[in-house]
Amino acid sequence: MYLLLNKYAASGNAEKKWGQIKDVINQKFDNLNVIELNNHILMEEVIKEAIEKGDKNFIIAGGDGTINYFINKLIPVLNENEIKDIKIGFLGIGSSNDFCKPFSPEIFINGIPCKINFDKAQLRDVGVIKYKSGKQFLHKFFLLNASVGVTAEANNNFNNPDLILRFLKKHSTSMGILYAALKTILTYRNFETKITFNSYETYSFSVSNLSIMKNPHFSGNLSYPSEVDYQNGLYNIYLAYSMNKFDLIKLLKSLSWKVFPKNEKTKCCRTPKIRIMSDVNFKIEFDGEVITTNDAEFSILKEYLKICIN
């Protein structure tokens, strides 16, 4: 079995977290091959090497971005039949670890959320982003959620911290998230889009925030009111539009209580596909990673990857 370790997750605190569980994990799995991820490691080569050796179980030790990086290297190099044999576990040594949410007591090992029971791996939906980059369309994949608007901008700020945020990230993830959110709200401007739901219903919106969810938990303690469903082939869509800064602060507060307000500036629905187009470039955040485009379509690969459920 291969364990892919990102010691740089959680602003460098992941190495300390890994130290809390390393001995337990090594005792639990025989012949564990630990690969420390760095700029010299080619993930595609590691995956191919593992498959050639007959290793089809992977443990990803890091944050949500680490497992996102892994699946975006895994899916393009394997065909659909090969993918069905892969099982993925996760050690949450990152900042937010939304991948393990909602937390339950039985998944914790020495204070670290872990989903590594390979006997209880289930097929899960995989989100697909087909987005315009220059004159071509590229693809990205995600397991949890994606966003456009103020959440995406805040994630971009969180990934590129100023001095204050760099300090907060090292000492308090929740305070770092709050700082990034409030700083982004103060400078954020709505932008005009055309949004097509399920390939045929198109509407114009001045987008404040658009969340495209498989898991309602995101950014620390924030959450939408929907339940987790990784196998229904649908996204939960939460749209906030034409909001001012005060509206956005109220929205942030509501989401900290797991409430999405229903009013003349919000909409929600379920759909297997959604497309967003604009005359201006906008950022898309997906499981903590960020890309820029002006045209993106979200679809789903239904029950495509086997993931440990506890």
SS (H, E, C) 24-52: HHHHHCCCCEEEECCCCCCHHHHHHHHHH
**Counts for the chain of helices (H) and strands (E), in that order:** 8, 17
Domain that holds residue 159: 127-302
Residue 152 sits in the same domain as residue 57:
no
Domain assignment present for residue 61? The answer is yes
Residue 86 sits in the same domain as residue 140:
no
CATH number of the domain within which 183 lies: 2.60.200.40
Report the distance separating Cα 34 and Cα 25, nearest Å.
Answer: 11
Domain assignment present for residue 307? The answer is no
Residue 255 sits in the same domain as residue 283:
yes
Residue 106 sits in the same domain as residue 20:
yes
Residue 246 sits in the same domain as residue 199:
yes
Q: Tell me what pLDDT residue 79 has.
A: 87
Is cis: bond before 216, omega within 30 of 0? no
Q: Is this prediction's pTM over 0.75? A: yes
Domain assignment present for residue 180? The answer is yes
Q: How far is CA 262 from CA 221, 225, 266, in A?
A: 21, 12, 6
The residue from 67, 87, 116 where one domain ends is: 116
Residue 43 sits in the same domain as residue 131:
no
Per-residue pLDDT of the chain (310 residues; tens, 9 = 90+): 999 999 999 888 899 999 999 999 999 998 899 999 988 888 899 999 999 999 999 999 999 999 999 999 999 999 888 898 999 999 999 988 999 988 899 999 999 999 999 999 999 999 999 999 999 999 999 999 999 999 999 999 998 999 999 999 888 888 999 999 999 999 999 999 999 998 788 999 999 999 999 999 998 889 999 988 999 999 999 999 999 999 999 999 999 999 999 999 999 999 999 999 999 999 999 998 999 999 999 999 999 999 999 9
Q: Tell me what pLDDT residue 216 has.
A: 95
Residue 133 sits in the same domain as residue 25:
no
Domain assignment present for residue 121? The answer is no
Residue 137 sits in the same domain as residue 79:
no
Kindly tell me the burial class for residue 170, based on how many C-beta atoms sit within 10 Å of its own C-beta (0-12, 13-18, 19 or more).
middle
Residue 69 sits in the same domain as residue 157:
no
In DSSP terms, 283 is beta-bridged to 292
Domain assignment present for residue 208? The answer is yes
Q: Tell me what pLDDT residue 4 has.
A: 96
CATH number of the domain within which 25 lies: 3.40.50.10330
The residue from 116, 147, 175 where one domain ends is: 116
Residue 144 sits in the same domain as residue 255:
yes
Q: How many domains does the chain have?
A: 2
Residue 161 sits in the same domain as residue 270:
yes
Cα 261 from chain centre: 23
Domain assignment present for residue 122? The answer is no
The residue from 90, 116, 142 where one domain ends is: 116
Residue 167 sits in the same domain as residue 195:
yes
Q: How far is CA 252 from CA 182, 218, 288, in A?
A: 9, 12, 18
